[in-house]
Structure 1
Amino acid sequence: MSDFVVNFCFDVLEDSRLPVVVGSTLVGVLTLYVGHKVYTRQQFKRKVRRKNEERQKALKDVLSSLHTDDKEVEAKRKEIISLTLPQLSQQLKDGQLSAVQVLQAYQEKAFAVHDDLNCVTEPIPNALAKAEELDRAGQRSGLLHGVPVSIKDNINIKGMASTLGLVKFLENYAQEDSVIVQVLKKQGAVPFVKTNVPQTMLDTGCSNPLFGKTLNPHDPTRSPGGSSGGEAALIGGGGSVLGIGNDIAGSIRIPAHFCGICGFKPTANRLSTRGYFNCSPGIQGVISTCGPMARDVDSLVLVMKALLVPDMFELDPLVPPIPFRHEIYESKKPLKIGYFLDWELKLATPAITRAVKITKEALEKAGHKLVPFQPPKSDHAFHDMISKLLLADGGKTIRNRMAGEIVDPRLRLGLPFLTMSYFWRKVVGVLLKPISPRMSRIQSHRLLRTIYDLWQRLVEREEYVREFLAAWEEADIDVLLCPATPMPAFTYKGAPSLYETATYTSIFNLLNFPAGVVPVTMVTEEDDRLLDDYIGSDNDIFDRYVRQVSKGAVGMPVAVQCVALPWQEEACLRLMKEVEAGFKQ
């Protein structure tokens, strides 16, 4: 038998038709491959088109139900939109407003904002039925009775898809509400829209091939931030009074800063994350959590009070049963506050450092003590620990998520950097070194190839947490004030996926400290002029990108970041309230 096979092979090799046969085979295989790709792409486009037709119909159906020529109704809706969340909640509780009135006012406003910014993915189908049920019940119980709430795309609502901006998940229908949505409903809230995210949620822009690009409410040429960009844009545009997002490296805080609203990231597991769909499940060391977004700090406090209740602790026994501690939040004792304007990365632009300076002065005027504080080895934490832990699987999870997908233009450049093999990372790292030493350092790091490698990085993270806590204790501070991000909202045009936008936020995910942002000022003409002299740490190409895409941001909001020790959410919110009070007219 073996002789037959050998002779047959020699006959084939001697056959003068072999090149033609091989060539024809290769052409055939290539044709099949390209044909399959084209067919798949067309199938994806049809799904996207069908989804958007359904989406537009759902939006039009809700809008048509809102139409009125009654001037009194129109005036009442405008009045409702102008109320703060505590005011709105009180009037709902007192019976001055009905849940249906409030819902319809916010539906109308949300869809008007969406027309300008493209921030809503879908209306929630049973919102009106939920509001009518609340009104029929008569009894007004729950801290959020009748309050409309917008929900980020990846947080599960029964019967709706959590997509991450990926076509393959268009039919990823949730079997039940996430725990956080269940508790909101038990407190009387009315979830009414889902909001947009960047594809895979790994960008500080906000666009994907399913629902398109979301714009900033203060300047449509600029990003609203990510990944909770749809939430921030909707709230910043006045279309929602309360939203729920989630944060793994700044995904609540960066959009809140960009859009001029407040956002809060609790200690991981202070709020349940059961029932939200993650792009990279299994990540260890850089910790994701859900959190609220709103126009002011009082609203954040109200929703934290509403969520930290026995219902949440029973629905998710993994959440420690720690209710909201009013005595910490309401304390009048002067605070000792650490602060820093920048760190050794030297990335903060003039508007950002000025915001921290004026906040420091306002807090000192209010009777608090401010002392300098410098995070230990922050450069090492960001460039080594965080990047290694976020990609501990070598990018395999992201590759699997993106397999066969239409890639959003903003991800086309960054995606290969996230998913390439160690060999190519080293090659690219060497090529990047002359123009971007920082990106070269991130790109060149060794992938974690074994469980032992991962454990060593987690040990390194634990040591860094201890070192940070020791520095905190030595400074004897209660809370910390620092920049929210290195820059104001950047322009979409010319902006790559700016990884270093998350330098000042992701470190507190690594540490697992609660952190929130509060808007305090706007970019001035002087800030913009000083940007011409901005160099950064080593005139890295990314410093030049930061300068380029930050230029012309006059009038854009600028926030500061407030931080507390783990499980001290109330202390963090108290600092946020003190900051906000220092800038109220």
Structure 2
Amino acid sequence: MSDLVTKPAVELLSLLGSRKISPLELAEEHIRQIEMLNPQLNALIDFNPDRVRAQAAALSQSSTPKGPLHGLPITVKASIAVAGHRSETGSLINKGCTPTEDAVIVARARQAGAIILGTTNCPEFLMAYETDNLLYGPTSNPWDLTRTAGGSSGGESAAIAAGFSAAGFGSDSGGSVRTPAHFTGICALKPTPGRIPARGHLPPCVGPFSLIGTIGPMARTVADVALLFQTLSGRDDADPTGAPVALRQYTIEELKSIHIGFLEDDGHTPVTPETRQAIRETVRSLRKQGFHVEPFHPRALEQARQLWWKFFVRAGAMFFDPVIAGREADLSPTFRGFLDIAHQDPPLTGEELLFAWAESDVIRAKLLEEMRRFPVLITPVCSVPAFRHGERSWIIDGQRVEYLDAMRYTQWFNLLGSPAAVVPAGWSTEGLPIGVQIAGRPYEDELVLGIAATIERDFGYIAPPIAVNA
């Protein structure tokens, strides 16, 4: 039964629903996988098998109606509050932080019947595309232990790819569910802010992070991601970004009526040949299925990236400076690297922040206007596949590409506040997965997921050898 742990969540739920397997039996399979592989991957940082078994037993004994996620084992990034679990955001400054209340999304998952396996590793204060910290160390990629699983939801992506959990939740302010999904060969969605409540995220998604930051579902298939989105999304009355947006379903005919744009690179930062090939194969697949796909490069993307930089990097450092004052010796090298980059510029003045805030609305309006013709845009996720632990630059097409520049392809859509999904669609010469990004306009999350699902038909998740040979 060991192959159960790499099956899609929707298949596991079908097996549970038909009583071909019990919640406890499924939990035991995942416990075994975690105990076998977590010492190598370091994905889960708070895991207690007896606590998992107790949840499964309670589900089996309950007389209440079964929820849509009844018995499904999931994990949660350690920046999302899970009552009784360590949620330290990878920092010694937060060592031992154990929330007493669940985040809204965790409470909804429990109510739907999910079993919480534990919390997953992340970089300090989430400000990195590599998961490493002084509390727990680095998380490795199940495809190659010498490489990162990404960040900041790297522990979550490694856990799902390796069969530790059927699905889970990360968070994303600049690609933090999408880049790890790309690096480990799984699927993810950065939703429109507010469609999945962010209350209970640590640190809070406030100020500019209420626009650029979201909690997003991660899983092995688009159907699984869509299931989590459909089951757990919905307005939270205490969330100022929330909107009463009804769920929508698209027929294949409606999807094919949408004009899709694509770009292989943005003209500023090159991508590896295999990354370019993954975009081309995706376009070929969509055209073969009857979709209308054309090259399209929105002119305002670079302006959006520059504004994202002001909010995420410069304003982000300003948020953390008072938190870390006097505790600099406790900071990880990864977070110090972020601060070194952020402090190359002076702190934002009130005037700069005011004008950046106003300009962001202007640039968002330009992008939305440009996307009238192509409501869906396919792009790379990142310039490179999963990189080796500690790497910070690469030579691509004879050009040196620095760390944060390589990640720019996700950052645009945080500034836009729009949904963006990732699905596996290719391979590097080293045998590493490569994902493609499917982005849309705000509140059109279901459209993005619909196109992602059609792409997945010719590509999709493959279990890494470490997961099936455990």
TM-score calculated relative to the size of structure 1: 0.73
Which AA in structure 2 matches 1:356?
I
Alignment partner, residue 264 of structure 2: 341
SS at match of 2:378: strand
CA contact (8 A) 1:329 1:570 kept: no
Q: For the residues of structure 1 that align with 2:174 and 2:435, how far apart are their CA atoms?
A: 17
1:477 to 374, 377, 382: 374
SS at match of 2:82: coil
Which AA in structure 1 matches 2:388?
T
Q: For the residues of structure 2 that align with 1:275 and 1:127, how far apart are their CA atoms?
A: 22
1:155 to 67, 80, 83: 80
Which AA in structure 2 matches 1:348?
V
Deviations 1:391-436 (A, max 9, x none): 4548232223334142323334442232x3xxxx3xxxxxxxxxxx
SS at match of 1:222: strand
User: Are 1:400 and 2:322 counterparts?
Assistant: yes
Alignment partner, residue 8 of structure 1: none
Q: For the residues of structure 2 that align with 1:294 and 1:284, how far apart are their CA atoms?
A: 24
Deviations 1:119-157 (A, max 9, x none): 110115733222111101255521100001100001101
Q: 1:155 to 1:413 in 2, by over 3 A?
A: closer
Alignment partner, residue 14 of structure 2: 90
User: Are 1:410 and 2:286 counterparts?
Assistant: no
Q: 1:483 to 1:448 in 2, by over 3 A?
A: same
Is there any run of 5+ residues in structure 2 with no aligned partner, and where?
Answer: 394-401, 463-470
SS at match of 2:160: helix
Q: For the residues of structure 2 that align with 1:292 and 1:329, how far apart are their CA atoms?
A: 23
Q: 1:573 to 1:394 in 2, by over 3 A?
A: closer
1:453 to 352, 355, 372: 352
Q: Which is further off, 362-371 or 397-406?
A: 397-406
Q: 1:98 to 1:315 in 2, by over 3 A?
A: farther
Q: 1:556 to 1:130 in 2, by over 3 A?
A: same
Alignment partner, residue 198 of structure 2: 273
Per-residue deviation at 1:373? 0.8
Q: 1:331 to 1:280 in 2, by over 3 A?
A: closer
Deviations 1:527-574 (A, max 9, x none): xxxxxxxxxxxxxxxxxxxxxxxxxxx101011000111101100000
Q: For the residues of structure 2 that align with 1:415 and 1:183, how far apart are their CA atoms?
A: 35
Q: For the residues of structure 2 that align with 1:393 and 1:246, how far apart are their CA atoms?
A: 18
Q: 1:318 to 1:373 in 2, by over 3 A?
A: closer
Give the strand-richer structure, 1 or 2: 2
Same amino acid, percent of matched pairs: 30
Per-residue deviation at 1:330? 8.5
Deviations 1:497-524 (A, max 9, x none): 8212320001100001100111011013
Q: For the residues of structure 2 that align with 1:514 and 1:369, how far apart are their CA atoms?
A: 20
SS at match of 1:254: helix
1:491 to 388, 398, 403: 388
Q: For the residues of structure 2 that align with 1:85 and 1:556, how far apart are their CA atoms?
A: 23
CA contact (8 A) 1:228 1:245 kept: yes
Q: 1:317 to 1:143 in 2, by over 3 A?
A: farther
User: Are 1:505 and 2:430 counterparts?
Assistant: no
Q: 1:570 to 1:136 in 2, by over 3 A?
A: same
Q: For the residues of structure 2 that align with 1:194 and 1:417, how far apart are their CA atoms?
A: 29
Q: For the residues of structure 2 that align with 1:302 and 1:180, how far apart are their CA atoms?
A: 14
SS at match of 2:109: helix
Higher-Rg structure is 1
User: Are 1:134 and 2:33 counterparts?
Assistant: no
Q: 1:182 to 1:168 in 2, by over 3 A?
A: same
Q: For the residues of structure 2 that align with 1:264 and 1:578, how far apart are their CA atoms?
A: 15
Q: 1:393 to 1:484 in 2, by over 3 A?
A: closer
Q: For the residues of structure 1 that align with 2:417 and 2:316, how far apart are their CA atoms?
A: 23
Q: For the residues of structure 2 that align with 1:330 and 1:243, how far apart are their CA atoms?
A: 31
Q: For the residues of structure 2 that align with 1:105 and 1:354, how far apart are their CA atoms?
A: 37
Q: Which is further off, 492-501 or 121-130?
A: 492-501
Q: Which has the higher contact order (CA 8 A, sep 6+)?
A: 2
Question: How many pairs does the alignment contain?
Answer: 450
Which AA in structure 1 matches 2:348?
L
Q: 1:454 to 1:514 in 2, by over 3 A?
A: same
Is there any run of 5+ residues in structure 1 with no aligned partner, and where?
Answer: 1-75, 426-442, 525-553
User: Are 1:175 and 2:75 counterparts?
Assistant: no
CA contact (8 A) 2:255 2:447 kept: no
TM-score calculated relative to the size of structure 2: 0.90
Alignment partner, residue 580 of structure 1: 456
Q: 1:145 to 1:323 in 2, by over 3 A?
A: farther
2:426 to 505, 509, 521: 521
The equivalences for 1:335-374 within 5 A come to: 335-374=258-297
Which AA in structure 1 matches 2:34?
A
Give the helix-richer structure, 1 or 2: 1
Alignment partner, residue 381 of structure 1: 304
Tell me how large the CA RMSD over aligned residues is: 2.3
Alignment partner, residue 445 of structure 2: 569
CA contact (8 A) 1:113 1:234 kept: no
SS at match of 2:278: helix
